[in-house]
Amino acid sequence: MATITGADVVKRARSYIGQHEDPLGSNTGWFVQECQRATFLAGTGWPWCAAFVCEVCKALHDSLAPNNSAGAHDLANRHQPWVPASAVKPGMVVDYNIGSGHTGIVTAIDLHTGTVTSCDGNWSDAVVEHSMPLSEVRAFWAIPGVTYTTTPTPKPPVKKLPPFVVATSASGHRKILFTSPGGTAGKKSLMAWLTAHSLAKLAPNGVTITRGKA
């Protein structure tokens, strides 16, 4: 079986955005029933936010273990230990303290602004991506069988220093400051590197150029 990643979970959850109850406010409809069949409860007409999470997992061939409830809190309780906010990755599940409980798939988290964004079923009778304050979160949990990775931050390119810079004081005096390059020079730039390195050694404080009298 191919590896399922957090990005796969987010992509699948977002693919359902716009699906809704039919009629609205009924907790049923063809898509809602599809989600409810992904749980372990019969029938329809009952809240389906946790059923949506189960449907996302089922669509990725990663069905959650049998559970005798489709409640958001019950689902979270079954998947402890919970994940601290500082370690949450997109594709994990958030359990909100909203009403009797609400849940969805995390698509982003921002610890600086204290917000989490998730893709949820049964949010205003549909599948919606929205943001909430972290103060509304009861728990975060990882879906078993899913691989969560962190995208490495690319390193900024190393800026090469020029062999010298010219600084001008308020009095009009100019000073040539030689830079000392670090690292190992390549063959083509060996002479330039040696020249700049030697000048920086000979004149560590630069060379002052005095403006002549007019």
Q: From CA 171, how far away is CA 167, in angstroms rounded?
A: 12
Report, as an integer, the average pLDDT of 152-177. 59
* Residue 185 reports pLDDT greater than 60: no
Q: What angle do CA 100, 102, 105 make, to 5 degrees?
A: 165
* Residue 168 reports pLDDT greater than 70: no
Question: Residue 178 belongs to what H/E stretch?
Answer: strand 174-178
Report, as an integer, the average pLDDT of 143-154. 79
Distance of CA 28 to the CA centre of its chain: 33
Amino acid at 7: A
Domains of the chain, residue spans: 4-147, 164-209
SS3 102: strand
pLDDT band at residue 211, thresholds of 50, 70 and 90? low
State residue 184's pLDDT score: 46
Q: What's the whole-model pTM score?
A: 0.70
User: What is the CATH code of the structural domain delimited by 4-147?
Assistant: 3.90.1720.10
State residue 70's pLDDT score: 75
- The 10s digit of each residue's pLDDT in 14-60 is 999 999 999 999 999 999 999 999 998 889 999 999 999 999 999 99
State residue 63's pLDDT score: 83
